[in-house]
Structure 1
């Protein structure tokens, strides 16, 4: 886990920080975080002005959305063979399972990134490890 930066430390984006989002503490970093968080969330979230006005609330919505996606992937993996056997052959089922595994791996990274952004919006600043 990244250490919290001492006052006056230069801005730093820790490993897992989302690409395209400026490091916390850099001028204008929050609008880049809001834009990225909206990209992570369902498109309909862009229509809720309160989420745009309150980045930390948006971050919490994003965390819950990603965690729900992780739960859906886990359910898909656990049910794949039983649910899909009536509509797909073994090759297609194996491809679906592979897709769910890839999505599970991607979501682990997204969840980490959303968590880092949420912590930064709460005031946490990171420092590079030497």
Structure 2
């Protein structure tokens, strides 16, 4: 089965046995631990994916805002080398979060019934969407 670029390695390909269970386990690792307490999210993986998408996208925005303001906010409290280390942490964390957001979106699309078709010479997944989006 084809999975698009950005598909998380921890999640089995859509349509394979137990793929939704692997998606739920992976998505639960992408959100705060308290989300595990809500049985509805385990019973309805699409709801979990939606919540994960919102959570991760908010984390991306928070990291961007944190990076933009870190030097100014911390200049009175930290030495310059510590501020640079904080900025370096943001520069590493930002791309990780963006990649995670892409992966969460792909899993959500698959849970909605989208099939991914390989495309020649294209980096984007080729959707075959059911139900439109």
* TM-based fold match above 0.5: yes
Q: TM (normalized to structure 2)? A: 0.87
Q: Partner residue of 1:78?
A: 68
CA distance in 2, matches of 1:29, 1:13: 12
Q: TM (normalized to structure 1)? A: 0.89
Q: Partner residue of 2:108?
A: 118
Cα RMSD, aligned residues only: 0.9
CA distance in 1, matches of 2:35, 2:2: 29
Q: Partner residue of 2:130?
A: none
Structure 1 residue ranges, 4+ long, deviating more than 3 angstroms after superposition: none
Shift of 1:87: 1.5
The one of the two structures with greater contact order (alpha-carbon pairs below 8 A, sep at least 6) is 1
Cα displacement string for residues 101-125 of structure 1 (whole angstroms, at most 9, x for unaligned residues) = 1111101110100000000000001
What are the ranges of 5 or more consecutive residues in structure 2 without an aligned counterpart? 121-133
CA distance in 1, matches of 2:103, 2:97: 10
CA contact (8 A) 1:37 1:58 kept: yes
